[in-house]
Amino acid sequence: MRDVAAAANVDISTVSKVLSGGNISVRPETRARIEQTVEALGYRPNASARGLRLSRTGTFGMLVPDFTNPVYAQIIRGAVREAETRGRVMLLAELDPGHSPEVYLRLVHERRIDGLLVATARSHSPVLSLLDRDEVPHVFINRRGAARSLSVISDDEEGAAVGTRALIQAGHRRLGLLNGPVDIDTAQRRRAGFERELQAASLPPATVVSRPYSARGGYDAARELLAQHCTRPTGLLVATLTMAIGALAAFAEAGIDIPRDLSVVGFDDGDLASFAHPPLTCVAMPHDQMGAMAVNLLERVVAGEPARSVVVPTPPRLIPRASVAAPPPSRSID
Amino acid sequence: MRDVAAAANVDISTVSKVLSGGNISVRPETRARIEQTVEALGYRPNASARGLRLSRTGTFGMLVPDFTNPVYAQIIRGAVREAETRGRVMLLAELDPGHSPEVYLRLVHERRIDGLLVATARSHSPVLSLLDRDEVPHVFINRRGAARSLSVISDDEEGAAVGTRALIQAGHRRLGLLNGPVDIDTAQRRRAGFERELQAASLPPATVVSRPYSARGGYDAARELLAQHCTRPTGLLVATLTMAIGALAAFAEAGIDIPRDLSVVGFDDGDLASFAHPPLTCVAMPHDQMGAMAVNLLERVVAGEPARSVVVPTPPRLIPRASVAAPPPSRSID
DNA sequence: GCGAGGTGATCAAACGATTGACCTGATCGT
DNA sequence: ACGATCAGGTCAATCGTTTGATCACCTCGC
């Protein structure tokens, strides 16, 4: 900045005022001269110096449990893009319950960030207690936090309801749900939506199997379902895309034809869904938008503006593909 | 830090020396007292102040073209973890040829990072010219850069060779390659490995179809292959896992049974490969290790130590699954 | 002609940590 | 016993920006 000031023949404080303030009294020609010099020299203010002076780094942090999970990848993309359009950069770290919170300390206690996005799903993560002790501005993503905490979620309950209705409308009466672990917030909400629709259609309680949100989890859940010798469902809702991929593999292995023998509705649309075998009917959840809204909300929080938890307004959409059909005419058992 | 100094009854410079230096002359009891106070107060040095004073932020930046691509997700994971064990944090941004390099300027010109990992694959990305103009310490991942630039790659050529050999050993004589775009470095290397093995086995030049590294690209490439009415290969190498997923969908659609009619070897092992239909024989590439090694290399660069481009030492491994079999006894054409 | 009021710029004090220069006793060699 | 040496600290300048306080100059009104 000193170089810019020298080249433009003004004091560095004037340069600073032109660059940051904008509406202070500077002669138009001086302002133009400074802006020109800044441009010519390709000058950009040093982030550390600004951060030190302003106690504001222009950085947000984001904690996710798993980079390789496509759902989080989508959320990250939405958040990072929104952060960039707002002139910020994003520090990312993987943090699941097993990890030490060292990376949290590095972000928060060393004052590297202005606010934190927390997408770790488990309800007993060790950072949760740190979060409210430290009073860091933060927003939960895809997970409701404690009463005082803000969160951005998509309407998982409605998403599950949409998927369930699709099965019911196709004629299914015996439904099943392959769900995530019970201590994950989205799993709870998806189950609620599923059961809401069952009741609305006066259907009996359905089989629910809980397994981790992973392909392996879906595979195991599907095998568990097949092993149960009571009346098998003809329509199945699966709580995530990766689980659905695993479940389809288990069904293929067991010689069960989708959708002839069993209809399947998955979650979280994507390329993988359309190239699955068979192409998977899905409920598309607006994950990237959720990430973007979380950044917006966090921005309000750090600005001290009033802010409230939100549900992403874009409604979940059913993407019909080949994995849903009418139930088999003869009931498979009894 | 002032608080720590006051509480321990020393000068703040002494605290600083205890915390950063380590080997200067401080009485053991003083040192203990300071360390104790630091612990009790939960003090951590302010990153902006350190950054300003030392011109060293403790941060690396990483540019990837696509968060949702599982290959990059793996690389990111490896890099972020290694950075964390080295006491650093990682700034991530998505940057492909279409994007403006604004985020690059924000990272480099605002001095937010000590070094940059560049995983954008295209050979004509606009950041490349900026990189050597600015003389930022940087390391390319999964892509060779200009002569002066350092890079970490895995042995894609050998990986392709391993996959090709697996097909040849299963008895295949007519092979094909579904490859990525020709201007992507990994695609070039994979093709080289493929053709090397063809020659080694004295097989004729094979069909190669190039499409984007995506499920859609794999689907399109597979359809293109089927549309060619000349002798169809009986063994197929597919350059990425996502392409393979797409290709499998195209083959299923066309009624081609894998592996009876056609054997397929994919790349980049993962859950998705084992739950594909059929489970996909893959060449596992050590992506996370590549990310970690890139961080190590970059660390050497910023430390001014001598450093050279490396190939990840872990050799590519074949993961045999159900998608490879002997070629059909009757040759499909002629 | 002179004080009041503005405008457009500069001055200087922070922000928090680091580090070479400097200071103060105590110890040592002769 | 006295200067040199050294261990164990403190002092103060510095990194690059920001911003309230200050200042120089001009205009205007009476």
Per residue in A210-240, pLDDT (tens digit) is 999 999 999 999 999 999 877 889 999 999 9
Q: Is B256 at the interface with chain A, CB within 8 A?
A: no
In sequence order, the β-bridge partners of residue B61 are B91, B116
Whether the per-residue pLDDT at A6 is higher than 50: the answer is yes
Which tens digit of pLDDT belongs to each residue from B171-227?
999 999 999 999 899 999 999 999 999 999 999 999 999 999 999 999 999 999 999
* The CA-based dihedral angle spanning residues A290, A292, A294, A299, taken in that order and rounded to the nearest 10 degrees: -170
Q: Is B246 on the interface with A (CB under 8 A)?
A: yes
Give the pairing type, strands A310-311 and B115-118.
unpaired
Q: Could you read off the pLDDT of B129-166 as tens digits, one per residue?
A: 899 899 999 999 998 877 788 999 999 999 999 999 99
User: Does A76 contact chain B (CB < 8 Å)?
Assistant: yes
Q: What is the mean pLDDT of residues A15-23?
A: 84
The b-or-e profile of A301-333 (16+ CB within 10 A means b, else e) is bbeeeebeebebeeebebbebebbbebeeeeee
Q: Choose among A141, A188, A118, A145: nearest CA to A288.
A: A141
B248 touching A, CB under 8 A?
Answer: yes
Residue nearest to nucleotide D15 (CA to C1'): B53
Backbone torsions φ then ψ of A183, nearest 5 degrees = -90, 10
Q: Report d(CA B69, CA B180) in Å as an integer.
A: 14
Whole-number distance in Å between A104 CA and C21 C1':
38
Nearest residue to A271 via CA among B69, B223, B98, B95 = B69
Separation CA A9–CA A69 (nearest Å): 54
B212: Cα within 13 Å, side-chain hemisphere: 6
Q: How far is B2 from chain A (nearest CA, A)?
A: 15
* Substitution target from B271, B274, B280, B287 for chain A, most A beta carbons within 10 A: B271
Residue B73: the pLDDT is 96
Output residues with Cβ under 7 Å from nucleic strand D. Answer: A 1-2, 12-13, 16-17, 19-21, 43-46, 49-50, 52-54; B 10-14, 17, 25-27, 30-31, 49, 52-53, 55
Q: pLDDT by residue (tens digit) across A281-320? A: 999 999 999 999 999 999 999 999 999 999 999 999 999 9
Residue B330: what pLDDT?
61
Whether residue B21 has pLDDT greater than 50: yes
Of all nucleotides, the one whose C1′ comes closest to residue B31's CA is: D8
Confidence tier at B25 by pLDDT (50, 70, 90): confident
CB-based contact, B330 to chain A, within 8 Å:
no
Distance in Å, residue A23 CA to nucleotide D1 C1'? 73
B100-110 pLDDT tens trace: 889 999 999 99
Distances (CA, A) of A278 to A242, A256, B252: 14, 12, 9
Residues of B in contact with A215 (CB under 8 A): 271-272, 274-275
CB atoms under 10 Å from CB of B128, counted, come to 17
Cβ contact A208:A191 at 8 Å? yes
**Which has the closest alpha carbon to A206: A183, A180, A240, A172?**
A172
For residue B211, the SS3 value is: coil
> Residue B288 belongs to what H/E stretch?
helix B287-303
Instruction: Work out the number of other CB atoms within 10 angstroms of the CB of residue A96.
Output: 13
Nucleotides of D under 7 A from a protein CB: 7-12, 14-20
Q: What is the pTM of this model?
A: 0.93
In the DSSP assignment, the letter for residue B219 is H
A259 vs chain B: nearest CA distance in angstroms?
A: 15
Structure tokens given for B31? 């040192």
Candidate from A49, A70, A93 with C-beta closest to B80: A93
- Using the Cβ of B181 and the Cβ atoms of chain A, whether some distance falls under 8 Å is answered with no
Q: Which residue of A has its CA nearest to B54?
A: A48
Is the per-residue pLDDT at B232 higher than 90?
Answer: no
Residue of A nearest to B278 (CA): A249
| Spacing of A147 CA from D17 C1' in Å | 39
3-state secondary structure of B319: strand
Structure tokens of B310? 């490396």
- Specify the DSSP class assigned to residue B21: I
User: φ and ψ at B64, to 5 degrees?
Assistant: -125, 155
pLDDT digits (tens, 9 = 90+) for A96-154: 777 788 999 999 999 999 999 999 877 777 888 899 899 999 999 998 877 788 999 99
Would the CB atoms of B89 and A80 count as touching at under 8 Å? no
Which positions of strand C lie within 7 Å of protein CB atoms? 7-12, 14-20
A–B: how many Cβ contacts below 8 A?
166
Residues of A numbered 269-328 whose beta carbons fall under 8 angstroms of chain B's beta carbons: which are they?
A: 270-272, 274-277, 279
Return the number of other C-beta atoms located less than 10 Å from residue B136's C-beta: 22
Tokens for B295? 């961080």
**Looking at the C1' of nucleotide D13, which residue has the nearest alpha carbon?**
B53
Element (H, E) at B106: helix B102-108
Tokens of A118: 């927390």
CA atoms within 13 A on the CB side of B182: 3
A215 touches chain B (CB under 8 A): yes
Tell which residue, A161, A155, A175, A159, has the closest CA to residue A283.
A159
pLDDT tens, position by position, B58-81: 999 999 999 999 999 999 999 999
Residue B26: left if φ>0, alpha if ψ -120 to 50, beta else—which one?
beta
Residue B3 in tokens: 């608080």
pLDDT at residue B271 greater than cutoff 70: yes
| Closest chain B residue by Cα to residue A216 | B271
Query: What confidence score (pLDDT) does residue A128 get?
Result: 87
**Rounded to whole angstroms, how far apart are CA atoms B206 and B198?**
8
On whether the CB atoms of residues B103 and B95 are closer than 8 A, the answer is yes
Residue A93 burial (C-beta neighbours within 10 Å; 0-12, 13-18, 19+): buried
